[in-house]
Chain A
Amino acid sequence: MCSFECFLSADVFNHPLLPLVNHCVSQLLMFSLISSFQMQFMLLFSRQGKLRLQKWYVPLSDKEKKKITRELVQTVLARKPKMCSFLEWRDLKIVYKRYASLYFCCAIEDQDNELITLEIIHRYVELLDKYFGSVCELDIIFNFEKAYFILDEFLLGGEAQETSKKNVLKAIEQADLLQEEWRTPPLTENYYT
């Protein structure tokens, strides 16, 4: 493997910006201290504003969580369907997308990539869809713990841990097999009774 020095050409050694490096270091250090994790939290809620799933990757008090949820749900629901998927809220960026009657909503930091967050949301929806077989809101309501298990296999601590859908589903199925029949899987049950 080539070393760091040899893959850089010699003419850039006299780069005029070199003296500024020290300055930049301190700037970046400061910058990086205030930054933290990629995804702060993920919320799923219905068009009526009912929370369907919440996953927090930052430690917050219950009171704070409730406040944030309430405010965000209101803000997102107020937006029209043909608006862009991003909004700036407090010092966070909110990335949301609506699938049928459900809103999937993630909060990321200012310097994080919005598109990859959209991709994460989409992939999670695909995973749910594969697992439940054309998923609908009721699947998530009645099997909310499954929805969490899938999310936990897909994201860990706010980072995507497995980018292959196949692997995630395999892990979930294996774990499900281990789970003994302690209640009948109600996947085909009529929820409306």
Chain B
Amino acid sequence: MALKIVKGSIDRMFDKNLQDLVRGIRNHKEDEAKYISTCIDEIKQELKQDNIAVKANAVCKLTYLQMLGYDVSWAAFNIVEVMSSSKFTYKRIGYLAASQCFHESTDVIMLTTNQIRKDLSSPNQYDTGVALTGLSCFVTPDLARDLANDIMTLMSHTKPYIRKKAVLIMYKVFLKYPESLRPAFPRLKEKLEDPDPGVQSAAVNVICELARRNPKNYLSLAPLFFKLMTSSTNNWVLIKIIKLFGALTPLEPRLGKKLIEPLTNLIHRKIHIFSSHKMLCSQSHLIVSLSRIAVLISLSSGMPNHSASIQVMKYLGLLAMSKILKTHPKSVQSHKDLILQCLDDKDESIRLRALDLLYGMVSKKNLMEIVKKLMLHVDKAEGTTYRDELLTKIIDICSQSNYQYITNFEWYISILVELTRLEGTRHGHLIASQMLDVAIRVRAIRVFAVAQMATLLDNAHLLTGNMQRMGICEVLYAAAWICGEFSEHLENPMQTLEAMLRPKVATLPGHIQAVYVQNAAKLFATVLKNQEGNTDSTAAQETSQLMIDRLPLFVQSANLEVQERASCILQLVKYIQKLQQKDVEVAEEVCALFAGELNPVAPKAQKKVPVPEGLDLDAWINEPPSESESEDEQPKAIFAKEEPKHSRPRHTEVDEKELARRREARKQEQANNPFYIKASPSSQKAYQEAPGVEHIPVVQIDLSVPLKVPGLPMSDQYVKLEEERRQKERADKKKKEKKKRKEKRSGRGRKHDSGPESEEDITPAHMVDIVTEEMPENALPSDDDDKDPNDPHKVYDIQGNLQDGSQVVVSVIFENKCDSFLKSMEFNVLDSLNSKLQRPEGSGPHDGLTVPFQLPPGVSNEARFVFTVQSIVMPQKLKGTLTFIVKDSSTHEKLDFKLHFTCTSYLITTPCYSDAFAKLLESGDLKCSSVRLEGVIMPFHHLLARICFHHHFSVVERIDSCASMYSRSIQGHHVCLLVKTSGQTVSIDAKCDEPTLLGNVLDEIKQTFSQC
């Protein structure tokens, strides 16, 4: 035995200890990996020895290697061995190694339960401490379950050192084993009043984190925490308590008021704690801190020496502002210049924060200015991440709430076009989708957009010139589509067609080529139409020839989609050419191929299409194939797989001659193309002069002028134009005001105030109708409200758009019928128990909703409001008020109205098959009711159409003068009608599973016919 010990210590003398290992690694900088692998071999040897000291040394070295990134999971069992040593020295090393190397999936953890339990109850507090520390890192649900009781006992340990650790680790245990929370909580609460401040703060920590997860349960502790907050001097504890109150105040608004005073005291005492959570606590003190923050930021920007700590303050100030912005946007907006200034900061973190703030600060008035500033930054920005961030922010800012702040869409399109010049951006797709969205939804802009896109297509090589810019070529997708779809607006469709068929297009990604091909066909149709109109048959034939010449390139594409479209269109054009040679006018027919407009479809539209009655999407159409059958199918699958291979040889079939010819053609093409620069690194900067200027030497193209695609108006011009326009508008308004003053015809005695232009006065540059996205027609039942004939100002058309069973979207059309400008409109409805207007969070139940636009005289616009409706069986009338300010008058005007929710408006036109209908009637769940209409003088089909139109029914079956009709409510009630007519009497027998609803619907039908 003695010999063994001696032998062990001799071995140790030759072993490396940790210092030797570290030194060795530092001395083997060149072959570190090799050195370490020999070290690991040594360690493996050491671990095999019985001597625990040697093992501990080895484990210590392994922990170091683990940090360097080497895998040591193979030694997990040895770590457990060292952990279970009775000597504190080794135990400490073992637990350290375990806490660094173990994770939940380490299987040896299961072996440690008893060892840890033994250590937890050790008389030596440091043994316990080490075990607790280790446990905090690798606690698993199993360990938590097994040890929860032991740890709970430790919470009442005599030594504060242990109590503190036990309290903190309880949180980890709660997370892994939530059942332990209930029995442990009373003890945890006791610890809030522990005599030791360390234990107290640990308990605050744990309860604070728990309360963040489920604040409601901790509301009862508020008085205790309030006491702690006013008495404690420990900043760490204070911050935690404030964080806790941040979670509690939303649940108990009274707390907020109570907190204002102590919090303000704290803020005055220590400015640095205010950074995060207390911002949410109280409303009035926010303003106080805002002014402080603004001072802070301006102070820190004014300092010539940007030291790190000042940057820290700036960052925190901006962070706090973004929190205040949510509740008090106005007060933050006044610091706009300060925030814009922060965009110039060298520090990316600060710039990103400032960007975040800008999003919430834009208005119609300052949008152009802010975006202009951002565009400058885009040009200056280094580093693609920040630039990409800027790009997305610009698009976010402009497109927010359905382009609410954009007054001039031409400006927006040119901004988008300018953004395409960004090098190396990943967001080409985003820009493309914005272009498509704007061009499709804003009709007035199409002419302009098409012109811009045509130029883009013409200059496509600038976008694709460099492989790094591949992200941006997504834009060409949008450009091609817009030019094709709205080709009637093109000034020179022929030129665009040629641009789309350039051989270079073949280098674009497949999906873009596919769009090119398809839209080339659309363009071709337009061109043909124009040319045939001119009675110049040769031109039309030349166009066809052009298509036939260029399309084969695409037919050879590797992309199947491109191949398919191209070969299809090629055949079509060949046929057209044949017809043309026979002097047949074909333009009409070709155009008919692409007739009709593609409307935008709302993303949710598909979901809203009701599944027809009797259609079970989950049912098998055929009997499911049995196991044996599926084996038989296999050969088929193989055949299908092979198919693409058959089409493959097409590419290789091109013979040498053809290749040579093409090479020649390409050389020719390159020679004629002044923009072909042979892979020189500066090519990405090379921007051409105006198209058509052919003979500019290549050398001169490498200019350092700002990147500018020729022919595109710069967005800056729009800013200027907009300024001019607004000024003119202002002047006009003043003129008008003068006139008005002279005439003094207004009986309302408005005061005219020709003060500085207010934000609301900005009118859109051109009235744009933003086309709303298409919805399935049956989701749009309409409903007339009580129109007030005496209303001098407006008419409402109210459409109820029913969704989700309990939500009703009401679109209200506001029409300004007077000759004054209306602004600050607020729409409010007195909620009933059944129907409630949905208001944004944070506003009271009686607050009005701001209508997101102003109304110039004679203009109408639509706003949508969401209502929650509980029961739909009774019609509802909601009283409401619209308040608004008549321009130049400081008084609020009021307009009362009523919203009429008829039962009909809760019905959705749902098709129903006659057999399903019959089943429904047979089921006997439906209650009967009937109504008789006298003196109806109209043909039967008119009558049916009227019911379908006004009451959202669909005809199931019609036999002579008798028809069955069906509809369904948003809450799934079936309504069935049997309509019979004889002479001037119409009788309607109805069945529905909700008799009240049925009665009301019948009443409404009756009313419809009594009105005519």
Contacts and interface: CB of A to CB of B under 8 A. Distances in A.
B253 A18 contact: yes
B973 interface: no
Contact of B213 (A1, A19, A32, A141): A32
B170 to A, nearest CB: 10
Interface residues of A, number: 85
Contact of A53 (B57, B67, B201): B67
Interface string A11-33: 01101111111011101110011
B250 A12 contact: no
15 contacts: A1-B224, A16-B844, A16-B845, A25-B215, A51-B68, A83-B348, A115-B275, A145-B93, A156-B132, A157-B137, A159-B209, A160-B236, A178-B88, A178-B89, A191-B23
A113 B246 CA distance: 12
Nearest to B90: A182
B247 A175 contact: no
A171 interface: yes
Interface of A: 1-4, 7-9, 12-13, 15-21, 23-25, 27-29, 32-33, 35-38, 51-54, 56-57, 59-62, 66, 79-88, 111-116, 118, 141-142, 144-145, 148-149, 152-153, 156-157, 159-164, 167, 171, 174-175, 178-180, 182-183, 186, 189, 191, 193
Interface centre among B56, B349, B845 (most CB of A within 10 A): B349
Contacts of B348: 79, 83, 87
A84 B349 contact: yes
Contacts of A80: 346-347
Contacts of A81: 308
B103 A60 contact: yes
A12 B346 contact: no
A2 B224 CA distance: 9
A56 to B, nearest CB: 8
A145 B57 CA distance: 12
A57 to B, nearest CB: 8
A2 to B, nearest CB: 7
Contact of B349 (A8, A57, A86): A86
B349 A87 contact: yes
B164 interface: yes
B311 interface: yes
Interface string B266-278: 0000001101110
A8 B4 CA distance: 75
B403 interface: no
B202 A159 contact: yes
Interface stretch (B312-320, B474-482, B607-615, B647-655): B312-320
Interface in B161-193: 161, 164-165, 168-169, 171-172, 175
A143 B119 CA distance: 25
B108 to A, nearest CB: 16
Interface residues of B, number: 98
A86 B215 CA distance: 29
Interface stretch (B14-22, B722-730, B941-949): B14-22
A180 to B, nearest CB: 6
Given A8-B258, A32-B214, 13 more contacts: A7-B258, A18-B253, A20-B844, A51-B68, A51-B69, A82-B308, A83-B308, A83-B311, A86-B349, A113-B239, A114-B312, A159-B209, A162-B164
Contact of A157 (B67, B136, B161, B198): B136
B18 A142 contact: yes
A114 B239 CA distance: 11
A82 B126 contact: no
A153 B247 CA distance: 29
Interface string B288-318: 0000000000000000001110011011100
Contact of B96 (A9, A115, A116, A145): A145
Contacts of A56: 137
A16 to B, nearest CB: 4
B67 A29 contact: no
A163 B236 contact: yes
Contacts of B198: 161-164, 167
